[in-house]
Structure 1
């Protein structure tokens, strides 16, 4: 039984409890219908209500034979949701006065000494850097240093006019900065300072040897994407898209984030990350520090979607009410926003959101 149902059993009458159970049964049925309709082999969902996990479930199967059910601990490439962890790592260093967000990146990474780019511009995708440099296969063992060198060579920036342009390179550079300032690899820093405090025991970054390899295989319209066309796993891109995780671990981390838990950041820092900084090209959505933020009829929303070939993910939060949902799938054709709408409608109807 889900924790929410246990709480309801203790505090509500049988009739009210039955109505709540039906609501969640209906939500499960609706999500499974969407999964089947869109040929999504594996899908995992977690819902947080008032800062507590109230629903968590896997849908579909990990194998073509349909013998291994997906569950809440099934691993996915979470794609750009990884950027939220890089942003929190940067904010930790800022809290410790090891960096200032207005510092120029060249102060820590000499190869960018003449760029005039600041840390905050990287965080808000307003540095002027685009994604000309693409990931390469893990087997090529491209170093972070060589990646940065290629990015630097590709720079064509008008320092006086830096508009919003979403770019993985911004966060890959931030990852290198985290390493330079902390004295340890980006992966080690995030593991020690975010993943471990959040009890994300099964999450991490694949290094060719360890167990952090996604269990869900990348697909499009139900068919496995050929290996030659899959998104390369490049350690240089770990800060922007490399985290491998599941909804169980992510929900533990998101609970801490929503409730301003000092294990990761100070309360004021969490709030600072949600302040609009730069207007995006996506309507009335602004970049906060890592988060994409905007206003709705339900109050402030902070989100971050993730998408690489064969995977789509979404973290959608309502900071004022401490409600949130997490969605991970192994399909490029996942209708993330339809799924999010189904979840929010069901919860509103049940008066839980």
Structure 2
């Protein structure tokens, strides 16, 4: 019995020592220490949408190169964010570097939730296509079918999807015409447009003009047709089916801040990070305001491409270039930019309130690059090229 007590006490002491060591290690991150966080590979067999990964042996060389790249851009370009790279439908690299909160010196991790900015538009487009597949709307429907007081006549849903509607910028309208302290919601912004007397840029279909207004109007149509708020529709029909457990649509002043939800920053005087405050435009959704982790965004890409959300025909529409009424092709599908000049890419970048985001697909290489950042990083295109080059030179599948 005495031996048993001594043995138990010894085990308890060892466990306590290990706990103290880990706690001290976690709390002793120095101010200047580079925060490069490796994620433990865990795949739950019970998951609805299992994320597949290459083994560490297969990715050792490319991981080392991508680690070095993250360290360089963190130091030289103040990059604080996440990088996920996948090939052939499997993750070959996922990592974060830098801080989530600069005042508290909290590091980013795999659960950090980034505002996707304009990468959010593809979810709005998918929501519209879901209603289209259910015969609840047609792409040739005009906005006036759902909002009779909409002041810009003959604008079709398809015009909105591929940015050929010619609508004015709602940012400007909100900043100059909105009279209340609380930021306007989608319904309030639709009402404001109907009374603001702001001229559109051109008649529908004549030109391509990238428009945030068009996508907030699309989200408003989703709400009108479905009878549910946009955030609920997207959660029920996209996030939940794809097991995107951490993703959500956020409306400033109307929704509560969630755990791990990041704030955007800007660099002041080359060293100090200042939080970027929300604006009068931050309660509107559809053009922005989806929050997600990098892994959730990968689940979305895989699920969309594998037909778990939309049919093959709908996906082809989303991934095909639009055109004007004159037959001129434009570099945008439905919620995605399309680049076929140098190398075929289907992508979207986003910038909003300090968040810089990018989701890029290279179909010919079966390669996906997801970059999420929250300190106003401004070299997304260059970073994507570097990542692609490293993968092509250091990863053989």
Q: What TM-score, normalized by structure 2, do the two folds share?
A: 0.76
5+ long unaligned stretches in structure 1: 10-16
1:14 aligned residue: none
Choose the corresponding residue for 2:273, options 210, 214, 224: 224
Deviation at 1:313, TM superposition (A): 0.5
Note the 1:295-314 alignment, pairs <5 A: 295-298=340-343, 300-314=344-358
Distance 1:75 1:250 in 2: 11
2:245 is equivalent to residue 201 of structure 1: yes
Distance 1:205 1:139 in 2: 22
1:30 aligned residue: 69
Distance 1:137 1:4 in 2: 51
Distance 1:49 1:161 in 2: 37
1:156 aligned residue: 199
2:44 aligned residue: none
1:12 aligned residue: none
Q: Answer 1 or 2: higher relative contact order, Cα 8 Å, separation at least 6.
A: 1
Distance 1:266 1:320 in 2: 21
Distance 1:143 1:233 in 2: 9
Contact 2:127/2:222 (<8 A) preserved: yes
Contact 2:121/2:286 (<8 A) preserved: yes
- RMSD value over aligned CA atoms? 2.7
2:173 aligned residue: 133
**Residues 66 and 154 of structure 1: is their aligned pair in 2 closer, same or farther, counting only changes over 3 Å?**
same
Contact 2:164/2:207 (<8 A) preserved: yes
Contact 1:83/1:240 (<8 A) preserved: yes
Q: What TM-score, normalized by structure 1, do the two folds share?
A: 0.85
**Residues 227 and 58 of structure 1: is their aligned pair in 2 closer, same or farther, counting only changes over 3 Å?**
closer
1:289 aligned residue: 334
Which structure has the bigger radius of gyration?
A: 2
Choose the corresponding residue for 1:142, options 161, 184, 191: 184
Q: Does 21-30 or 174-183 show the bigger shift?
A: 21-30
5+ long unaligned stretches in structure 2: 1-39, 42-51
Choose the corresponding residue for 1:272, options 311, 314, 317: 317
Distance 1:50 1:137 in 2: 51
2:232 aligned residue: 188
Distance 2:276 2:361 in 1: 34
Distance 1:291 1:245 in 2: 18
Q: Does 201-210 or 88-97 show the bigger shift?
A: 201-210
**Residues 50 and 176 of structure 1: is their aligned pair in 2 closer, same or farther, counting only changes over 3 Å?**
same
* Cα deviations by residue, 1:131-169 (Å, 9 ceiling, x for unpaired): 132478997052322211222334423436632111111
**Residues 342 and 231 of structure 1: is their aligned pair in 2 closer, same or farther, counting only changes over 3 Å?**
farther
Note the 1:97-176 alignment, pairs <5 A: 97-112=135-150, 115-131=153-169, 132-134=172-174, 140-152=182-194, 153-157=196-200, 158-159=202-203, 162-176=206-220
2:282 aligned residue: 234
Contact 2:361/2:368 (<8 A) preserved: yes
1:342 aligned residue: 386
**Residues 122 and 331 of structure 1: is their aligned pair in 2 closer, same or farther, counting only changes over 3 Å?**
same
Choose the corresponding residue for 1:70, options 92, 108, 116: 108
**Residues 293 and 181 of structure 1: is their aligned pair in 2 closer, same or farther, counting only changes over 3 Å?**
same
Distance 1:285 1:117 in 2: 17
Q: Does 91-100 or 155-164 show the bigger shift?
A: 155-164
Contact 2:184/2:281 (<8 A) preserved: no
Contact 2:155/2:204 (<8 A) preserved: no
Deviation at 1:213, TM superposition (A): 7.0
